[in-house]
Amino acid sequence: MTHVKRAITAEDLTKIEILSDPQHTPNGDAYTYVSTKINDNNEYESNLYYQKRIETEPVQWTFGSNKNSNLSFSPDGKKAVFQSDRSGLPQLWIINTDGGEARQLTTFRNGAFNPAWTKNGQSIIFSAFIDEGDDVQNQKELSKEEQQKEMEEKKKQPLLVDRLQYKSNDRGFHDNKNTQIILYDLKEEKYEQLTNSNVDHSFQDVSPNGNYILFAANLNEDADYEIKNDLFLLNLKTIETTKLTDGNGGYHSARFSPSGDKIACFGHGYEYDGATLSKLFVYDIATGKRTCLTEGFDVQLGDAVVGDTRLGNSTTGPVWSRDEKSIYFIATDFGATGLYQASFNSEVEVLYKNDNHIFGFSYEATSDSFILGVSTPIDPCNFYSFRKGADLTQLTNSNALFLEEVAVIEPEVLVIPTEDGLELQGWLLRPYGYKDGEKYPFILEVHGGPHAMYGQTFFHEMQLLAAKGYVVLYTNPRGSHGYGQQFVDAVRGDYGGGDYSDLMLAVDYALEHFSFIDENRLGVTGGSYGGFMTNWIVGHTNRFKAAVTQRSISNWLSFYGVSDIGYFFTKWELGFNLLEDPAKLWDFSPLKYVENVETPLLILHGEVDYRCPIEQGEQLFIALKHLRKEVEFVRFPGADHELSRSGNPNMRIARLEEICRWFEKYL
C-alpha cells in the first residue's frame, strides 16, 4: 500500500531546520555550520555543528536554547571564537576545538559580535555598539533585570532627534551608540578601540601580515544625507586610515588576497540608484589601481533570492583562489543562484549552477574545493562538497524526517513572452491532492523589493497555500533581479505600469495554459513592494475575488517622511520626492484609487515596522472602511518588516493562518 504524505501546515514552520554559514577548519579536513530551529518555547535557537568531510554524521558543538553563530577559527585550528547570547546579550565566547566548555570573552554593555582572528592568532577583532565617551577597558554587561529596568526608564524619557537617519527597521530608534571596531589582545587581555568616528563602521577583513584591517563606512561630512559606503584601510600600528574608494558609491564584502597585495570587493556607483547591479572590483594596494572584473557581466552578484526559510549569514563572496588568479562568488541569474569564477582577463565562468538556490559557500584552498549550501523548491537546505568539473556530494541530510512525512509540491517553471519583447519567469504549484478534471482556486504571489527575485528555493508559504488546495503562481515582473540591468531598472518611475501589466499577463498565461484554474476564484497577495502592488491591483481591476496586502505602501506622500528609507527611496524609485512633485506621488499611490476597490481586502501589518510603517496600512483601512468596503485589519504587536521571514514564530504562524482564513472565506 502506497504511503500518502500529509499536507503541510502553518505549524510545520517549527519543524524546518535551517542551515547557514559553512566554514572550513584551517586544515581543511572538516567544516562547521550553524543550525537554526524553532524550539518548544516557540523561540529561535541556533547551534554550531562540526563535520569531517569523510564522515556522514555531524557533531553538535553547542547546546541549549540560545543563539550561537559567527564562528571563527584561530589560525592553528586549536581554538574558535563565536558569538552567543547565552549571557543575555550577544557576546564573544572562546572554546578549545578538542573539547571542553566555552568561556565568555567579552562583557560589553551593548554586546559584541562578528569576531575574526588576526593571522598570528594573538588577537581577535570584533564589532560592538559603543556610546560616545565609553571606555572599552571597563565594559560591564547588565543583568537581564538591569536591562529590563533600563528599557523601562528609557520609555519614560523624551527622545531628542537631530539627524535625518534616526531610525531603522533593524535597530529601531537610534541613539548615540555607533558600531565601532575593537581589537582584543589575548595575551595582555586588553581591548583597543580602533575606530572612533560618530558613524557605524563595518569590519571587513584583516590582512595576512596582521598590519591592516579593512572596514566600510561613510566618513563624509554629509554622511547623514547620503546612502553611500566607502572602503578604508586602517594601519593597526599607527591607526592611520586610508580611503580606498571615491565617496560616490556603495562598497562591501572586501577581502584581502592571500598575499595581502590586493583587495577584492563588491560595489557600484549608484548609476541606477537602488537598482544598480553590483560589480566585482580588485584594488592593487601598491599602485591604488582599481580594476572591474565583471564589466559587461549583466548579472547581479550575491544572492537576491527571497524566501521564508533562510536565517543566519553565509558567505556569498568574493573569495580569492589560492593562486590569486581567480575570485569566487555567488551570482543571481534567471531564477537561480550559482557559484561563479572571475579571472583577471575579465572572463566570468560558471563553476556550478542548476535549478536550485546556492545560499552560501566555503572555499578550501589546499584541496581547491568547496562546501556549497543548497536549497531547492522541494528541500529547504543541505550542504554539499564540490570540486570543479565534478558532481556534488551530499554531506548533510537535514529535514529528511520532515520531508518523509509531508507532501512537497514541485513547481512547474513558466517562461512568458511579453508584447514588448521581454521574457517573464514564473513558477506554478498545483494543489495538494490535485486531480485531473477538477477546478481549483488560484493565488498570485508578488514579491517585495521590488529589486529581488523569486527563485528555485524552498518556500514554506507557497507550499502551505498549495496544501490548502490553491493553484499558486509566483513570478518575477520587471524590476526583479536575475534578468539583467535593463530589466531590474525598468520599474523605476513606472510603478503600477509595466510591472502591473507583467503580473496580469502572467495570470492570463496561467489561465490559458492550465484549464484546472477556476477563473472565478482568483486571489492575490504580497508584502512590502508586493503589498503596494496588491493595493494597486485591487484599485485597478476587480478580477480578483480576494486579496491580502502585507506590510504595504498605500500613500507615497506620507511614506517619504515616515519610512526609514522614504527620504531617498521615493526619489530613487519614483523619480522625485514629496517636495518636488506631490501630485505625481499621489498618482502613484494606491490610496488615490481606493473608491475603485471592490475586492475583499485583508490588511496585515507589523506595529513596529519602520520600513513600511503601520500608518500605511491604517490609512488604507480607514479609507476602505469609511467607504463601507469589505476590509479587515490585523496588527501584529512587536513585529517589524521582517515578520514573515524572521519574526516571532507565533506571529509568523498567526500571519499564515490569517492569510489562509481570508482566502478560504472568499475563494
- pLDDT (tens digit per residue) in 314-372: 999 999 999 999 999 999 999 999 999 999 987 999 999 999 999 999 999 999 999 99
Coil vs helix vs strand at 506? helix
- What confidence tier does 132 reach under pLDDT thresholds 50, 70, 90? confident
pTM for this predicted structure:
0.97
Q: In which order are the strands placed within the sheet that holds 103-104?
A: 68-73, 79-84, 91-96, 103-104
Segment among 131-140, 425-434, 450-459 with least mean pLDDT: 131-140
CB atoms < 10 A from the CB of 659, how many? Answer: 24
- Using omega within 30 degrees of 0 as the cis cutoff, is the peptide bond preceding 258 cis? no
**Residue 148 predicted with pLDDT over 90:** no
212-242 residues labelled b (16+ CB within 10 A) or e (exposed): bbbbbbbeeeebeebbbbbbbbbebeeeeee
CA separation for the pair 230, 116 (Å, rounded): 21
| Residue 144 pLDDT > 90 | no
Q: pLDDT tens digits for 154-205? A: 889 999 999 999 999 999 998 889 999 999 999 999 999 999 999 999 999 9
Sheet-wide strand order for 262-268: 250-256, 262-268, 279-284, 290-292
Burial class of 443 by CB neighbour count within 10 A (0 to 12, 13 to 18, 19+): buried
* Least confident residue range of 121-125, 170-174, 527-531: 170-174
Q: 605 an active-site residue?
A: no
Close Cβ partners of 661 (under 8 Å, ≥ 6 residues apart): none
What is residue 655's three-state secondary structure?
Answer: helix
pLDDT at 135: 93
At residue 200, φ and ψ (nearest 5 deg) are -80, 135
pLDDT band at 572 (very low <50, low <70, confident <90, very high): very high
CATH superfamily for 403-554+589-666 is Alpha/Beta hydrolase fold, catalytic domain (3.40.50.1820)
Question: Per residue in 386-395, pLDDT tens?
Answer: 999 899 999 9
pLDDT at 146: 85
370-385 pLDDT, tens digit each: 999 999 999 999 999 9
pLDDT at 1 over 70: no
Condensed to tens digits (0 to 9), the pLDDT of residues 206-226 reads 999 999 999 999 999 999 999
Which amino acid is located at 493 in the chain? G
pLDDT at 55 over 90: no
Domains of the chain, by residue range, sit at 197-292, 403-554+589-666
Q: Which of 326, 528, 552, 644 is catalytic?
A: 528
Q: Which position among 357, 481, 605, 641 bears the catalytic label?
A: 641
Instruction: Give DSSP secondary structure letters for 379-437.
Output: EEEEEEEEETTS--EE---TTHHHHHHB--PPPEEEEEE-TTS-EEEEEEEPPTT--TT
What is the mean predicted confidence (pLDDT) over 441-469? 98
Question: What average pLDDT does this structure show over 614-641?
Answer: 98
- What's at 657, amino acid-wise? E
Closest CA relative to residue 179, chosen from 88, 111, 266, 265 = 111
Cβ 451 vs Cβ 495: under 8 Å: no
Residue with cell 578601540: 193
Cα-based distances in Å from 403 to 397, 457, 522: 10, 15, 29
117 near 74, Cβ under 8 Å?
yes
Is the pLDDT at 419 greater than 60? The verdict is: yes
Strand-strand pairing, 79-84 and 113-117:
unpaired
Q: What average pLDDT does the chain have? A: 96
The reported pLDDT for the residue numbered 2 is 65
CA-to-CA separations, 382 to 252, 319, 395, in angstroms, rounded: 27, 21, 7
Per the omega criterion (within 30 degrees of 0), is the bond before 590 cis?
no
CB of 275 closer than 8 Å to CB of 268: no
Asked if 626 is an active-site residue, the reply is no
Cβ within 8 Å of residue 124, ≥6 positions away: 72, 81, 92, 105, 115, 116, 117, 118, 183, 184, 186
Q: From CA 646, how far away is CA 383, in angstroms rounded?
A: 22
Backbone angles phi, psi at 9, to 5 degrees: -120, 170
CB 429 within 8 A of CB 472: yes
Q: Which residue has the cell 543548497?
A: 374
Tell which residue, 364, 365, 337, has the closest CA to residue 352.
337
